[in-house]
A and B are shown apart, each in its own frame.
Chain A
Amino acid sequence: MRHDREQKSIAAYRCGFISYMPARLDFIQSATGLILALFITLHLIFEASILISKDAMLAVTKFFEGYYFFGETYPGIISFLAASIFFIFILHAMTAVRKFPSTYRQYRIFISHNNNFKHSDTSLWLYQVITGSIMFFLGSVHLYMMMSQPSQIGPYASADRIYSEWMWPLYLILLISVILHAFIGLYRVTLKWGLFSLFSKNTGNSKQDKKNKVLMKKWMFIGIIVYLTISLLSLGTYMLIGYQHADKVGERYHSQPQTQPAAPVAEEPSAK
């Protein structure tokens, strides 16, 4: 009896209003977030090559422009990478914004709940909303610049952009936002989908799950502190280079002759 009712109602529901999109949207949000977080952890490490030397940063730049594969630099590769990240970024923003408070009433309820409850994981989500909102704008500016001016990357070009072209306030806020957002996001996504118990036979081990949560949170804090330190130091280094290079804006950096004897001589700007 119950079976018949179920069969009929399920068929009717499927045509009517059962949708598989909520599952897919939730998956897209987490998957794009994961890709972006992993991307940013690599991106910031590559940027930090300036802490080693200008030559190291130039080598990384040339690597991504395809120099070591094709023998020539193709900044178009950077454009393509930036466009791909931009696409994933937009997908992530569009799916994540579903969860934002959408009315002032919801916003007020959440803020008062957060203030009374004083619960760290609830506050972490609020940080995600705030840093996410900041990145809607600042992240878009940065990504569009990388798409449209892919050749303007290098020890001097980047430093000039940051210092002389006044990008540093944007980069500073973006940097702090993205590091917080990425590491809080990585922590949350493992708990959201229970990535630790993904391969366990039963539905999970409660005690182990609770331990994993504490462990993940520790790694989140370590990640935030390590990345903030490295990235702020490298931003500072670009600032310093930009300051020293302020009177020669536009001039590009070339490797020292002992490492690349032939090529840089040919590329040496004639004005110098």
Chain B
Amino acid sequence: MNSEKGRLLKINILRFDPHIKGDKPRIETFEIEEAPGMTLFIALNDIRQHHDPSLKFDFVCRAGICGSCAMIINGKPGLACSTLTANMDSDISLAPLPVFELIGDLSVFTGNWMRSLNNRLEAWIHQHEELNIDQLEQRMEPELAEEIYELDRCIECGCCVAGCGTIQMREEFVGAVGLNKIARYQIDPRDERSDSDYYELVGDEDGVFGCMTLLGCEDVCPKNLPLQSRIAYLRRKMLEIGLKSNTEVCSC
């Protein structure tokens, strides 16, 4: 179709495999020809196919749904599969996401980090009584269902974590991904936990009161989740508990 030659892209990749003895972090530059409609994901495959088969990076869905291909693109976290090279300078630098365990090159293990976060925040529906699956589910207003779904769209790609200056200074901080989950369960009527219960999970400086409103999460989220306003909402809810509760009250 298009026989014109594309731009020459210079892709600089921060490479390091902690599993190879003696391997040292270094920048390697690959030159490839840009193709029409090329995404970074396609460019990386090109490199792996034609230049270096040992290059490590993750992908599954190629459509911005699975969140596997999150990486630092020219200093900013983003998904490789939904980043068009046409919108970028021909000099592109790529690095793995910080904070997460490095598997090698651009591949990081977000899975175990997210799993321990979910365990820590008990990110599942809590009900006092066992669910009777023979009964019809309680009805819900469509607006509320939409609102829950909006927050449920999180794909746990880790971009918000990589864009958060707070979590990089203080690793115990739960980050926007964690706070978004709590905000999601807090508005869900099927979850019977009270705000005091949520306060136990995020009512401290590792939780919502550790957030410094740097807004990196909001600006890099590939799913455009309303993180700033949801964290603000959670902060207000948790403040209500903090102001109401008397620290002296104790039943034991």
Residues of A within 8 A of B (CB): 2-3, 6, 10-15, 18-27, 98-99, 101, 106, 109-110, 113-114, 116-119, 121-122, 125, 188, 191-194, 197-198, 202-204, 206, 209-210, 213
Contact = CB atoms under 8 A, between A and B. Distances in A.
Contacts of A202: 143, 147
Nearest to A8: B252
Contacts of B197: 6, 10
Contacts of A210: 226
Nearest to A111: B165
A197 B235 CA distance: 13
9 contacts: A18-B199, A20-B243, A23-B242, A122-B165, A125-B165, A125-B212, A194-B233, A198-B236, A206-B229
Nearest to A122: B214
Interface stretch (B30-38, B51-59, B60-68, B203-211): B203-211
A16 to B, nearest CB: 10
Nearest 3 pairs of A and B residues by beta carbon: A23-B242, A194-B232, A206-B226
Given A101-B169, A122-B215, A194-B233, 15 more contacts: A3-B128, A15-B252, A18-B203, A23-B203, A23-B209, A23-B238, A23-B241, A26-B239, A117-B76, A117-B163, A118-B76, A188-B213, A191-B213, A193-B236, A204-B233
Contact of A22 (B168, B212, B232, B242): B242
A24 B238 CA distance: 10
B176 to A, nearest CB: 13
Contacts of A12: 252
B81 interface: no
Contacts of A14: 249-252
Nearest to A108: B169
A27 B240 CA distance: 10
B230 interface: yes
Contacts of B76: 117-119
Contacts of A125: 165, 212-214
B252 A116 contact: no
A72 B170 CA distance: 56
A15 B252 CA distance: 8
A98 B210 CA distance: 9
Contacts of A122: 165, 214-216
B216 A119 contact: yes
Contacts of B242: 20-24, 27
B200 interface: yes
Given A18-B203, A121-B216, A209 B163 contact: no
Contact of B236 (A24, A118, A194): A194
A203 B147 contact: yes
B219 interface: yes
**Residue from B169, B212, B247 whose CB has the most chain A CB atoms within 10 Å:** B169
B183 interface: yes
B250 A15 contact: yes
Contacts of B232: 191-194, 197, 204
B45 interface: no
A25 B230 contact: no
Contacts of A10: 196-197, 200
